[in-house]
Amino acid sequence: MNTPSSLIVGNIRDGEYEGLIAEGITPLLITDSRATRKIADAAKIPPTAHYDFSKGLTAELIDLTRRLLDEHSFTSVLNFREGYVAITAGLCAALPALAHLHRNVENTLDKALQRQCFQQSSNPDLQVMSLAVRIDDLLTRPDELPYPFILKPTNLYSSLFVRCIHDPQELLDYKRHEWPALQRYVNGKHRETDQLLLEEYLQGSNHSIDCAISPDGTISSFPMVDVISGVDIGQSDFQHFARYTPSILESDAALKGRCHRLAHDAVKALGLKGTFAHVEFILTAHGPRILEVGARPGGSRIHVIRQAWRMPLDVCYHRALSGEPLPQAESGTPQRSFGIVTPFARADRTYDGVHQVDRIRDLPGFQRWYACVRPGERIGPVSNGFQNYLYIEFRQPDTASLRASLLAVADVDVYAEKPGDAQVKHILLIGGRDSGLDWDTAQHFRFTLVQQPAQLSDYQRQHASLVLTADIANLAAYSETIMRLHRQRPFDAVVSFSEQGLIPASQLGERLGIAHNSLHSVEVSRDKLLFRQLLQGSRYELPCAAIDSADDARVFLARHGPAIVKPVNGSGSQGVYAISKPKDTDDLPLQGHNLIEAFASGDEYSVESLSLNGQHRILGITRKHTSGAPGYVETGHDFPANLDDASRSRIEDAVLWLLDRMDNRWGPAHTEIKIDGQRLNFIETQTRFGGDQIWEMVWRTTGVHLAATTIAAMTGVPSPVPESQYVQMAIRYIEADDATDPQQLHAHLLRHPFALRASLHHDKFGQPIHRSCDRHGYVLLACGADDNRKAFNAAISHPLFNTQGQAQ
C-alpha cells in the first residue's frame, strides 16, 4: 500500500511543507530548475524532479506527472506561487485522474474577470466599482475621472505596480514612470497585457482569509490574517509591510462571521473547486469589501498560522484536495500572536546588509531575521516590481503587543536610507556623468538622480535613487515627481553639472527653497545672446546681433568684418562657423535662433572657477587648441596654461568681474576667453565644469574635486581634503583613418612616458570631425612633481598627438 503523498508543482519555501512531513505525507516536489534564493532546503525536502517552468505546460511535464501518479498514487496537487497556478490547472486538466482538481482557477488570473464574477454575487460586500481601462484612454479625459482611484495591472499580484491616483498630474506621472517600468517588468512573461484596472479606492484596514476547497466545492476557511500596508506606516505604496494573526477583528463575532461569508461567497462566485484560495479584503467604514482572490496560499500564511494557531494549513490543503476530512485544530484559540515584517527600501538601491540590527533585536518579541538577497544585489519598493527580500519575525502574548512591535520596525532604518545622521544629506542631481557623484566621500550623501535612460550608467544605478525622464531639460515632465519625493524625504540641495540640467536645477531650487545656483546666472550663461547683452557697456563688449538669414549675416559682415555664427543655446562646437566674406554665408545652415558676433582673434583659454555661496575662486587657466576655421573644434587642452604672472592676473580679474556680474552663487564655471595683445574678449561661459576631462585635470593637479566641493559646501558638510597628484596635465584628441588598428594605436599611445590613459572610438575612425562628438578618441597625459616639465611640454607640442594614422 502506498504511503500518502502529494505532488507539489514548482518551488516551495521553508515553513510551507513541515506539516506534511510530520503527518507522514510524502511531498513529491517538481522543483523549478530556474535559479532562485526563495527555496526550501533540499536536504529537508529533496526534489523528486526538476523542470524549467518557463517552458510552460509541455508534454514533458505531463508525462513526468503521469509517471509519478502511476508510481505514487498521490491524491493532491499543491502549488504555492502565483506563477505556477495556470500550469498546475492545465496539468490537472490534461490528466483525467486529476481533472477534478484546480477547476476554474483561470477566473483568478485576470482581475477584470474576477470583478465580473463578483458582480454576479448577491453579497453586497463583493460589489466594488471596477473598470478595465487603458492608460492612453484615461489620458484623453483626465478631468472626468473619479479621483481618488486605484490603478493596478490586471494580471499581477503582491501589490506590484499598484498606485493610488489623486489627480490628473499623478495620472500623467504614472504614464511617464510606472507604466514604462511595468511594461519592462512583464516583457516576455506569459501573462502580459496592456490593460489596467481602475478601481474604487477602498480606505480602511487590510485583511485576508485563506480557504481550502474540496473537489465537490466544500469550503473550509481558516483564521484571519491582518496586513499592515505601506499607507499604514506613512508611505505612498501598498506594500505588505507586515502580516500577523490573530486578527484585531477576532473578538467581534458578528464582524468575523461577515468577513468569512465574504471569503466563502468570493470563492463561490469564482466557481473554484479542488483548489485553495487566498482572499484579500479591506475593512471600510461600511464593512468589509473584496479586493481580490488568488488560487494559492497567501504569502507566509502557512507559517504564520502554524506558529500562532498550531494549525497545519499544508496538511489541510492536502486533505481538502484529496476529499478527506481536515485535521482537527489543537484548540479553538490561538496559542500566541505571531507576525512577520517584510520592509521594503523606499527607492531602488544596492543592498549592503541589514542596518541597526541591534535595535531590531531589542524590540519586544523579536525571534529572528533572514534575507533572500545578497549584498551587491538590487532592492527597491514593491511599486517598482520588487518582491519580499527581508523577513523579521516576532512573537508576543497578545495581538496589541505584537502589532506595536511590528510597527516599531517602521522606525528602524534597516537599509540606511534616512538622513537622520547630520552627515547624510539628500542631494537632487539633474543629469550628468558619473563624475557628479563619484568621489571618495560621496558616501556621506544620499543622491536622487534625474536622468535620461540613454545616459544612465551602471554606477549611477548602484549609487543613486533614480527618476527617469526622456529629456532632463523638460522640467514639466518630472517636476511633480520631484515635489512628491521632496515631501517624502526633503532634499538639502539641487545641482547639475550637465548643460541641459542647469536651468531645471535652478528652477527646482527656487520652488523647493533649497540650496541652488542663481537662475539668472544660469540663464545668462545658457543664452549666448543674453550673455552678450550682459557685457554691453563694459570694456568687454563685442559687436553682436541675432540673425535669422544669410542676408542678416552679410549685413553684419559689411559693418564689423570677420565673424562667428553660432546657435544661441548651442554647445560642444556644434553649429559654430567662422565667416569672413559674403560668399561664406551662401551655405550657412541657420536653424533655430542664431547669434553672430565679431570674430575675436588671439590665443584661446578657458578659466576654471568655483563659486561657493557667491565667493569665487579661480582654480586655474586652461590653454585651448582648436582645429581653426570653419568649425573651431577643440583638439586639446593644457592645464594649467603656461602664462606670465601679469597675463594670469589679468585673466583672473576679468573672470571674477564676470562671475559677480552674473550673480553666480554655487558651483563651477567654465569661462572661455581670447587674448590678443592688450585686448581680452569673453567667448562664452557655462555654469558647469569644463568638458573634455578638464574637470579631471583640475582635480588631479589642484586636489579640488569640483562636484564634491560644491555639494559639500551647499550642505554645510566639510569638503574633502585637497590632494594633488600632478603639477601639469594635457589632453590631446586623436584623428585616425579607417584603416588604423585601434589596439595597436591604443598600445602606441600608452607607451608614451607621460601617458595616463587613452580612449578610442573605433567606429568613428576615418569620419570627418565637424564637432566635438565626432572626435576619434583622446590620450590624457600627466606630469608629476619629479618629472621633467620641459620634456612634458615638448611632448604635448608634438604634432603626432593630433594626427595618428596607420603609419604610427
The predicted pLDDT at position 798 comes to 67
User: Measuring CA to CA, which residue among 670, 732, 731, 668 is closest to residue 705?
Assistant: 668
User: What kind and span of H or E run contains 611?
Assistant: strand 603-612
Pair (372, 447) in one structural domain: no
Return d(Cα 397, Cα 403) in angstroms, integer: 11
Pair (723, 775) in one structural domain: yes
Q: What percent of the chain has pLDDT over 90?
A: 60
13-18 average pLDDT score: 92
The residues, ordered by sequence, that sit 6+ positions from 75 with a Cβ below 8 Å of its Cβ are 4, 5, 6, 318, 321, 322, 323, 324
**Total domain count, the chain:** 6
Pair (307, 351) in one structural domain: no
The predicted pLDDT at position 354 comes to 93
Domain boundary among the residues 516, 532, 555 is at 516
User: Measuring CA to CA, which residue among 95, 90, 78 is closest to residue 17?
Assistant: 78
CATH no. for residue 36? Answer: 3.40.50.20
Tell me the residue type at 803: T
CATH no. for residue 548? Answer: 3.30.1490.20
Render pLDDT for 605-661 as a digit per residue (tens, 0 to 9). 999 999 999 999 999 999 998 887 776 788 999 999 999 999 999 999 999 999 999
Domain housing 360:
336-415
CATH no. for residue 405? Answer: 3.90.600
Whether residue 641 is contained in a domain is answered as yes
Q: Is the pLDDT of residue 190 over 70?
A: no
475-499 average pLDDT score: 91
Whether residue 582 is contained in a domain is answered as yes
- Cell numbers at residue 217, please? 466545492
Q: How many angstroms separate the most distant Cα atoms in the chain?
A: 109
Judge if pTM exceeds 0.75.
Answer: no
Pair (723, 585) in one structural domain: no
Whether residue 394 is contained in a domain is answered as yes
| Stretch among 43-57, 154-168, 285-299, 687-701 having the lowest mean pLDDT | 154-168
Render pLDDT for 273-283 as a digit per residue (tens, 0 to 9). 999 999 999 99
Whether residue 604 is contained in a domain is answered as no
Where do the DSSP E strands lie in 461-602?
465-468, 493-495, 544-547, 563-567, 577-579, 594-598
Instruction: Kindly report whether the peptide bond that precedes residue 148 is cis, defined as omega within 30 degrees of 0.
Output: yes
Whether residue 110 is contained in a domain is answered as yes
Count Cα neighbours of 59 within 13 Å in the Cβ-side half-sphere. 0
Pair (766, 619) in one structural domain: yes
Q: Is the pLDDT of residue 51 over 50?
A: yes
Pair (684, 704) in one structural domain: yes
With bands split at pLDDT 50, 70 and 90, how would you rate the model's confidence at 158?
low
The chain-wide mean pLDDT, for the chain, equals 89
Q: Is the pLDDT of residue 599 over 70?
A: yes
Whether residue 748 is contained in a domain is answered as yes
Render pLDDT for 306-343 as a digit per residue (tens, 0 to 9). 999 999 999 999 999 999 999 876 556 777 899 999 99
Whether residue 143 is contained in a domain is answered as no
User: Measuring CA to CA, which residue among 371, 370, 369, 352 is closest to residue 360?
Assistant: 369
The predicted pLDDT at position 764 comes to 92
| Stretch among 19-23, 65-69, 196-200, 540-544 having the lowest mean pLDDT | 196-200
Domain boundary among the residues 275, 302, 335 is at 335
Chain length of the chain: 808
Which residue did the predictor score with more confidence, 777 or 1?
777
Other C-beta atoms within 10 Å of 377: how many?
Answer: 13
Render pLDDT for 507-531 as a digit per residue (tens, 0 to 9). 999 999 999 999 999 999 999 999 9
Pair (715, 796) in one structural domain: yes
Whole-angstrom CA distances from 766 to 298, 538, 735, 775, 779 are 62, 45, 8, 10, 18
Pair (409, 557) in one structural domain: no
Pair (444, 491) in one structural domain: yes
The predicted pLDDT at position 280 comes to 95
Instruction: Kindly report whether the peptide bond that precedes residue 640 is cis, defined as omega within 30 degrees of 0.
Output: yes
The predicted pLDDT at position 111 comes to 84
Q: Is the pLDDT of residue 423 over 60?
A: no
Return d(Cα 297, Cα 206) in angstroms, integer: 17
| Stretch among 155-164, 201-210, 550-559 having the lowest mean pLDDT | 155-164
Domain boundary among the residues 335, 366, 384 is at 335
Whole-angstrom CA distances from 486 to 478, 482, 493, 606, 794 are 12, 6, 11, 37, 53
Handedness of CA 430, 435, 437, 441 (dihedral sign): negative
The predicted pLDDT at position 807 comes to 28
The predicted pLDDT at position 806 comes to 34
Render pLDDT for 566-590 as a digit per residue (tens, 0 to 9). 888 776 557 788 888 888 888 787 7
Residue 569, judged by CB atoms within 10 A of its CB (0-12, 13-18, 19+), counts as middle
Where do the DSSP E strands lie in 307-361?
337-341, 349-350
The predicted pLDDT at position 142 comes to 82
Handedness of CA 358, 363, 364, 368 (dihedral sign): negative
Whether residue 292 is contained in a domain is answered as yes
Pair (624, 762) in one structural domain: yes
With bands split at pLDDT 50, 70 and 90, how would you rate the model's confidence at 805?
very low
Q: Is the pLDDT of residue 1 over 70?
A: no
With bands split at pLDDT 50, 70 and 90, how would you rate the model's confidence at 418?
low
The predicted pLDDT at position 99 comes to 97
**Beta-strand pair 445-451/425-430:** parallel
Q: Is the pLDDT of residue 469 over 90?
A: no
The predicted pLDDT at position 808 comes to 29
Return d(Cα 153, Cα 703) in angstroms, integer: 52
Pair (400, 429) in one structural domain: no
Pair (212, 300) in one structural domain: yes
Return d(Cα 93, Cα 101) in angstroms, integer: 8
